[in-house]
Amino acid sequence: MAVGAPEALHPLPDWLLAVEDNPAYRWAISGWRRAASVPGAWFDAAKAEKIVAAWPTIFRLTEDRFHGKPFNLLLWQGITLRLLVGWKKPVEILDETTAEPRIAWVRIFRRLDLWIPRKNGKSEFLAGLGVLFFVLEKVHGAQAFVFGRDENQGRIPFKKMKAIIEVSKGLMVGPDGSRRVVNQAKSIFVPETGGLCELLSGKPDGKHGRSPTVIVGDEIHEWLSRDLADTLREGTGTRLQPIELYASTAGVKTAKVGYDWFEESMEILDGVKDDPFALIVFFGADQEDDWQDEATWRKANPSIGMTPTWDYMRIEAAKARGKPALEAKFKCYHLNQWVDHVSSWIPAKVWRAAARDREAWRQGAERFRGRRCVGAIDVSAVRDLTALVWLFEPLEERRPWEVLPLFWIPETTLDERQEQDKRVNWKDWVAQGALRKIPGDVIDLRYVADAVLEGMTMFDVARLGFDAWGVSQLQIMLQDDGVPVEIDEEPFLVNLRQGHRTLAAPTVEFERRVFQKLLDHGGHPVLDWMVRHCGVRFDQNLNYVPDKAGSKDKIDGVIASVMATYLTMEEPGEGPSVYEDRGIVEIEVESYAP
């Protein structure tokens, strides 16, 4: 067989000419041209077409209305498969019998990076590729490994591989009834070749010494480390045609492992990084694309119409419209755009509409006398704003919750703040009674404690929530003043961590109440100012919490409002009290082992 011709002699085939002018498929043109640039490269069109034709006659789909039906390749899947299996290059090896040099033809693409929005059949296709290269290629002693961030995540593509084997034609049981593949809880065994596919945890410990033929890694955007992927790749040196199959949607930019991998993929696709051995498949919207335009959805979702359905996309877009946090989630999940934080969360128009009377805040606390409520305190650094928010239960069903916020600032910092930020008239707020000044240059928590005690004499307070950071002095003051840690064997003083695990759910509930006009803030100017520049910060699962989003402005009142919302959602636990022994309850910790 002659060595392949230079790149100029590898014109695009018809199946690529059909998408050459489609920007959604620039990855395919890039992949073809990068492979063609490899010395001696040759495209085995006959083999590529044979595998593409055989795919739906062997593989079956596994879920829902598709279960048991032929796995007919969509356009993007067919192109990916042809590129993976068709491109070959010559390598010199020593003959296994004679130890003499000889030429072997091997696949050019040793790695697939598939970046595609959710619900586009990613896991099913990834699993099918895993079965193709592990089972059907019939490499004796093949080793395959499947993993994700942790074992539970890796189990998703692993279970897909097992399901495809079970429902597909002739894979598990041969015509004579012999067992061709043995599926077990954490492994897949092929008796004919002695091949073994294993489900791994997401950590590299104990994974050295393996010799992978096939590596399957899912949801890169959630990985804590790429050590396992690197460890497995380093073990492929004895294999002629190892292949790494990775797939993911976009995630949050602060998840450095996933985002760095994505940026590397884009550098390869764009030719900035020279790596002709990695096939990059990317579907997503550009930043300038209109996220509400259905043409953008089609561009980013090559399987749309089949999965996701148009109806689903329209419903999700409608939910996100006018809600910046949900818009960011839509862009990430369905347009494959990486997110970090949203600098604007609740639109000013929506916030204003939530207040029935925007001057109601001037009436003070007296209008709430005797009302049942919860309170939450966000204690700042010693020279910053501190916030106490009382959140009152609705008087009737479908009436709004009502907010009474109180804010304090050290008196001697007023001139400094007024000079540094002329957008805000701090002294006017003090004169209006919207902001309370504390003598001196630091926050004296005695003033805050006295306000809590005053509220407890006026209102029917169910619980008090505290920022778990830096509140011990205030808690001691209140307990010395006779405030109980618990009432009727239920926690009264509650510490709340300000991370996603604690505040994500109440953030969504706070947002819901505002948008549905079920949270009346009375037009308080300080809280209004804080909401205007409050954004949200996402975690790797796109849960979100209030965030300053790089601004120097304060959001203490928003944080305290979300904390208070938490106290209206979560009932204290039942059973014997432990507070006499351990003091104030802490709901949870933010850091945890993966």
Could you read off the pLDDT of 355-395 as tens digits, one per residue? 999 999 999 899 999 999 999 999 876 668 899 999 999 99
Q: Which CATH number fits domain 365-572: 3.30.420.240, 3.40.50.12780, 1.20.1250.20, 3.40.50.300?
A: 3.30.420.240
Examine the pLDDT at 580 and tell me if it is beyond 50.
Answer: no
Convert 404-434 into a string of H (helix), E (strand) and C (coil): EEEEEEEHHHHHHHHHHCCCCCHHHHHHHCC
CA 333, 264, 127, 108: dihedral to nearest 10 degrees? 150
Could you read off the pLDDT of 413-466 as tens digits, one per residue? 888 887 777 678 888 999 999 999 999 888 889 999 999 999 999 999 999 999
Report, as an integer, the average pLDDT of 102-118.
97
Confidence of residue 472 (pLDDT cuts 50, 70, 90): confident
Report, as an integer, the average pLDDT of 332-338.
97
Residues carrying CATH 3.30.420.240, the chain: 365-572
Examine the pLDDT at 16 and tell me if it is beyond 60.
Answer: yes
Instruction: Write the CB contacts of 159 (distance below 8 Å, at least 6 apart in sequence).
Output: none
436/431 Cα distance (integer angstroms): 9
Could you give phi then psi for residue 370, rounded to 5 degrees?
85, -5
- Beta strand extents in 498-575 (DSSP E only): 519-520, 535-538, 544-547
Confidence of residue 587 (pLDDT cuts 50, 70, 90): very low
Specify the fold of 7-283: Rossmann fold (3.40.50)
Q: What is the CA radius of gyration of the chain?
A: 30
Most confident of 55-69, 413-427, 488-502: 55-69
Could you read off the pLDDT of 176-219 as tens digits, one per residue? 888 999 999 999 999 999 999 999 987 776 667 789 999 999 99
DSSP, residue by residue, 434-445? SSEEESSSS--H
H helices, E strands: number in the chain:
20, 24
Output the CA–CA distances (angstroms, integers) from residue 430 to 191, 483, 484, 527, in the order listed. Answer: 80, 29, 32, 14
Residues carrying CATH 3.40.50.300, the chain: 7-283
531/560 Cα distance (integer angstroms): 12
Confidence of residue 573 (pLDDT cuts 50, 70, 90): very low
Cβ–Cβ < 8 Å for 405, 527: yes
Report, as an integer, the average pLDDT of 73-94.
97
How far apart are the two ends of the chain, measured CA to CA in Å?
52
